[in-house]
Amino acid sequence: MTDSALYTGLVMHRRLTPRPHRFKYRVFSMLLDLDELPHLSRRLRLFAWNGPGVFSFYDRDHGDGRPLGTWLDSVLAEAGITANGPRRVLCYPRILGYVFNPLSVWFCYDMNKALKGIVYEIHNTFGERHSYVLACDGAKPRHACDKGFYVSPFLSGDCRYHFRIQPPGESVMVAILEEEHGAPVLAAAFRGSRRALEDDTLIAMLMRYPLMTLKVIVAIHFEAMRLIWKGIKRHPHLPKELQAR
């Protein structure tokens, strides 16, 4: 048995203003324990760590270029969080070499396996990434923070995120309510059920969700075209150094 697993479920987005807009897609995510990656890569025929595979996880897809453990140590310390136990990431894997992760969620525990911090790692379609590092207090964390990173051309920089989390167990949930100018504008959530991370399960995922990660980026652009058609105002992409201003 491993702490790493698969979670199958639905991702939902619901735009509240100024025009209603909603979509749902069936997806699956991997929960990967950093300490288990070498073992998983040896044991599973369909999964590879930092190498080509039907499903794979590359360190370079996350963090800031340093080893992932070093990066997490640094950002947690900067936030005043002590979490020297397991580190697990909920994310999409590469499938046949391709992935785009709008949001990867890092669950950081202490040595007693108590959840102490969460790192919300955001990726945008301009190849940029940014992390919000927040301490946990309680079994079902709730967090709020101001937006400091350009994600969507359909939302301004004057936004605030509210996160609600059910940490990975038999199920997992990541829910986000985004406010713009102090009013709710967007609700998004992923809810998934746990499945064992085994080769036969990976075969089932490949059959049920073929080219899923490619469909994620296609869906982002498809939904963008629908928003343009509805007349939603667009905001220009700013250089990264100006995004938090």
The residue extents of the domains of the chain are 5-242
- In the block, which residue shows the tokens 């079994």? 139
Per-residue pLDDT, 129 = 94
Give the model's pLDDT for residue 239. 60
Give the model's pLDDT for residue 245: 42
Question: Looking at residue 16, what is its pLDDT?
Answer: 86
**pLDDT value for 244:** 46
Amino acid sitting at position 121: E
Sheet with 183-196: list strands edge to edge.
129-135, 115-123, 103-109, 87-91, 21-33, 5-15, 183-196, 171-180, 159-166, 142-146
pLDDT tens, residue order, the chain (245 aa): 689 999 999 999 998 888 888 889 999 999 999 999 999 999 999 999 999 999 999 999 999 999 999 999 999 999 999 999 999 999 999 999 999 999 999 999 999 999 999 999 999 988 899 999 999 976 778 999 999 899 988 888 899 999 999 999 999 999 999 999 999 999 999 999 999 999 999 999 999 998 898 888 888 888 888 888 888 888 888 665 444 44
| pLDDT value of position 226 | 85
Q: Which residue has the tokens 């990656």?
A: 37
- Positive or negative, the CA dihedral 196, 197, 199, 204 is positive
pTM, 2 dp: 0.92
**Cβ neighbours of residue 58 closer than 8 Å, sequence gap 6 or more:** 49, 50, 94
Rounded Cα–Cα distance for residues 231 and 47 (Å): 43
